[in-house]
Structure 1
Amino acid sequence: MAQYFSILLVLITLGTGLVWALDRYFLAPRRREALARAEVSTTGGLDEESREKLLAEPGFVESCRGAFPVIAAVLVLRSFLYEPFQIPSGSMMPTLLVGDFILVEKFAYGIKDPVWRKEMVATGKPKRGDIIVFKYPEDPSVDFIKRVVGLPGDKIIYRNKQLYIQPACPEGQKDCPTLTKIGSVDKGQGQYFLGNFALDRRTETLGEVEHDILVNPAFPDRAGDYYQQAGTRRDEWIVPQGQYFAMGDNRDNSRDSRFWGFVPEQNLVGRAVFIWMSFEMDRQPDSWLPSWVPTGVRFGRLGPIH
């Protein structure tokens, strides 16, 4: 849907811009010429009402002239700077909750054209720990949001709910990084639940980013459903060049790279940077209002995303 909206926005911008340009450089001069001829041929000149009538823009031209700069500004802002997204699921809890509205920095990983998504200007690459929005590799019409865990060349292991990372070894370096267990600090249970099961909340550090994750101790690893990369064990992956390994912070309630593989660089949309609105969405089934109507505003959640 987002891709279709981008195409529609481009078409509307081009359409209104062409009408505006056609009027300014072709139709408006013709109206002025018609006014000049009418004034020459009329004894005593034209009255003000007649002059305004001859110079008046057609209604659709006036509408396009007024809409074009607004739509063009929206296109530039949404395509190259920041785009709003809504969090639809709990896969990134506790960092992002259902009902959070976020801004995604579109220029963080390259400036791309809004239709074919080809990179025009390189601006940077994802870092370990970044929260990224990307086109779901199995269905590019769907936007996903996850956290970058593995960079190109990294070895990733997720076993018994524990994450291990062996960073890529730069070419020519003799002392290569070793496989490291990603440490976490237990923050207890009781704040988040999956059904009747209390989830463990832990603080984890990826690169320079410290963030919280959720783990369900009652839920077994689904290693049998993991993506099987050729030449590795079921719960091990080596990130190919130009691709990334992404996981949800809600580790047992996230369909991520463990299940479908890697995120190609060309699928990147941008980096999630700010929560600009957060609605509580806990309406009870017996409420007379639709479930999509918010029950409150979580002002305390507004601010930068980590």
Structure 2
Amino acid sequence: MKNWIRNNRGILVFVLCLGLFRTAIADWNPVPTGSMRPTILEGDVVLVNRLAYDLKIPLTDVSLFRLGEPQRGDIVTFSSPKDGTRLIKRLVAVPGDVVELRDNRLFINDDAVDYSDLTQVSEPIGYGRYVEATRATEDLGGHPHAVQFLPTRNPASNFGPVEVPPGQYFMMGDNRDNSEDSRFIGFVPRKLLIGRAGRILVSADIKANWKPRFDRTISRLDPVR
């Protein structure tokens, strides 16, 4: 065993460094569901900055230092407070905000969020099937991004108002009628935030033929702020 370790110490050191890098600095997160369509598609692999908010002890939720504050409009990976599953959603409300949905229209502190550029699209749902959908640009505090609404409404298309408690955040999927988010799993404590997603590394059409999507490689998720 000692000889094996000695003969392979270079590989072992590399694996250890890679593990520390992924658990403390940056990570890549494959996305298997469509809850963030049209921003993120099934089969996208997103790059996650683990140092966006906190420096944590690797493999724990223990924060050593705060490095930045989560902002409305951030795309965030986090552990679900319901069952620990890793999720990726958009942060729509910060501590102290009062958030409400009225027929899928978002209100923050009783102010209606602006929507523009409404368009009708045929949304692929996999294996050659499509559904009609409405897409729009949602301006969340000066941070415009795409959202999508489906004909079959989410049971929580009317929700709240609720106030976000101190140290917690309200998350929603951009695919508003196909997302299990804070409307169902509750507020997300800061300690469960993993990092902020900013780019797509690679992408493949996992709902059809696994063909690579080269146009999405190394692309930004949202316009530059």
TM-score by length of 2: 0.90
TM-fit CA distance, 1:186:
3.5
TM-fit CA distance, 1:69:
2.4
Distance 1:66 1:215 in 2: 51
Secondary structure, aligned partner of 1:192: strand
Residue 151 in structure 1 maps to residue 66 in structure 2: no
Correspondence for 1:36: none
User: How has the CA–CA distance of structure 1 residues 186 and 61 changed in structure 2, closer, same or farther, with 3 Å as cutoff?
Assistant: closer
More strand per residue: 1 or 2?
2
More helix per residue: 1 or 2?
1
Q: Deviations over 1:152-172 (max 9, x none)?
A: 000001011110001xxxxxx
Q: How does 1:251-270 map to 2 (within 5 A)?
A: 251-270=176-195
Q: Deviations over 1:107-156 (max 9, x none)?
A: 1110111233200121012100000000011111x101100000000000
Root-mean-square deviation (Å): 2.0
Contact 1:160/1:221, CA 8 A, preserved across alignment: no
Aligned residues: 218
TM-fit CA distance, 1:295:
3.0
Q: Report which of the two structures shows the higher radius of gyration computed on alpha carbons.
A: 1
TM-fit CA distance, 1:76:
2.7
Aligned AA (1:76):
L
Aligned AA (1:260):
I
Determine which of 196, 201, 215 is the counterpart of 2:135. Answer: 201
Moved over 6 A (4+): none
Correspondence for 2:205: 280
Distance 1:243 1:161 in 2: 22
Distance 2:210 2:23 in 1: 32
Distance 1:115 1:81 in 2: 12
Aligned AA (2:160):
D
Determine which of 185, 196, 219 is the counterpart of 1:271. Answer: 196
Residue 212 in structure 1 maps to residue 127 in structure 2: no
Gaps in structure 1 of 5+ consecutive residues: 1-18, 20-57, 167-178, 227-233, 284-293
Correspondence for 1:246: 171
Determine which of 10, 17, 39 is the counterpart of 1:73. Answer: 17
Distance 1:300 1:208 in 2: 27
Secondary structure, aligned partner of 1:189: strand
Higher RCO (CA-CA < 8 Å; seq separation 6+): 2
Distance 1:208 1:264 in 2: 24
Secondary structure, aligned partner of 1:185: strand
Percent identity between matched residues is 35
TM-fit CA distance, 1:298:
1.0
Contact 2:114/2:140, CA 8 A, preserved across alignment: no
Aligned AA (1:212):
A
Contact 2:154/2:176, CA 8 A, preserved across alignment: no
